[in-house]
Amino acid sequence: MADIPSAFAVFDDRFHRLLGPSPSLELLLEHHDYPFAHEAGVYLPSTDEIFITSNQFFNSSGQRCIQISKISVGDGSRKATREEISSDGVPMANGGINYKDGILFCAQGSETQASGLYYMSSSSPYTSNLLISSFYGRPFNSVNDVVIHSDGSIWFTDPIYGYEQGYRPKPELPNQVYRYDPVTKGIRAMADGFGRPNGIAFSPDEKTVYVTDTDWIHGDGNVNGMRPSTIYAFDITYYSGQPFMTNRRLFAMAANGIPDGIKCDVDGNVYSGCGDGINVWCPGGVLLGAIKVEGGAANFCFGREGSLYILNEKRMWKAQLAKSVRGGLLKI
């Protein structure tokens, strides 16, 4: 077995197959004015571009904001570049996913702007429109992350981080997972009982849905080791033709920090951004290994043929795994 770079920690021999013969980790972009690389991570294969959202920061006017950026990932002959995108139409953007010809963003909202799901075009002038902002009139808290089912329905998480951080009104809903049908405009609460539901992902066969609970840290920065830092798995079971999240079980617990963004590869392995980088579990919940990044990672996305783009606040990294590795969303 060839030497593995120190950035890759192997806890189970099965991780070697995912790493391939020559795994690597390289710094793609760095920007120190504000934490530009925090959430979303939406890869567009047609243009080799990635849409990302920053962490919160205060702009030159003293206003709390989040900046959307478009990253051209480059290749061996040209460097990666970053373009700032007007973020006014998606208030306090967070998670995102490929949707139709653009990006579906989670907007956490503000005191005056609605939290909800916003669709944004992927090219200039980057127009956006609101899909949904309430559960039958009760406004969402601060919508966090989103995933699309093959039946066209949109599943998303809604924790209360915005209220805790002082830019959203008092919550009118519990911390829950929702399913929205864009055809019928129907909205259902799918699961409750979370501390702070955060990342969400389907297994490749869509028989399982994973939800990260980041209750370990609250929006005011309060940390408590007795609170969940956990990935829960649910079976998707159908009754009267409608899906339900059943058989809730603890899938894994982050050893370091919180499991934030979460995605699967086509073989069902589960990847999550944690306090020490990207952690990878097999479908049975065994921790296979980690891609170590100082400062950890909130989110990430798969590119082509085993490339993984890691969002590390003021840095963005590219990890190259085995070329046989494919992300479960795009399968490329």
Q: What is the pLDDT of residues 168-215, one digit of tens each?
A: 999 999 999 999 999 999 999 999 999 999 999 999 999 999 999 999
Q: Considering the entire predicted model, what is its pTM? A: 0.98
- Long-range contacts of residues 24-28, Cβ cutoff 8 Å, at least 24 apart: 24/319, 24/320, 25/291, 25/293, 25/317, 25/318, 25/319, 25/320, 26/317, 26/318, 26/320, 27/315, 27/316, 27/317, 28/71, 28/73, 28/74, 28/80, 28/309, 28/316, 28/317, 28/318
Average pLDDT over residues 284-306: 98
**Over 80: is that where the pLDDT of 90 sits?**
yes
Q: Which of 73-82, 222-231, 258-267, 274-283 has the lowest mean pLDDT?
A: 73-82
Q: What is the pLDDT of residues 121-144, one digit of tens each?
A: 999 999 999 999 999 999 999 999
What was the pLDDT predicted at 35? 98
- Assign domain 32-269 to its CATH architecture: 6 Propeller (2.120)
Q: What is the pLDDT of residues 219-267, one digit of tens each?
A: 999 999 999 999 999 999 999 999 999 999 999 999 999 999 999 999 9
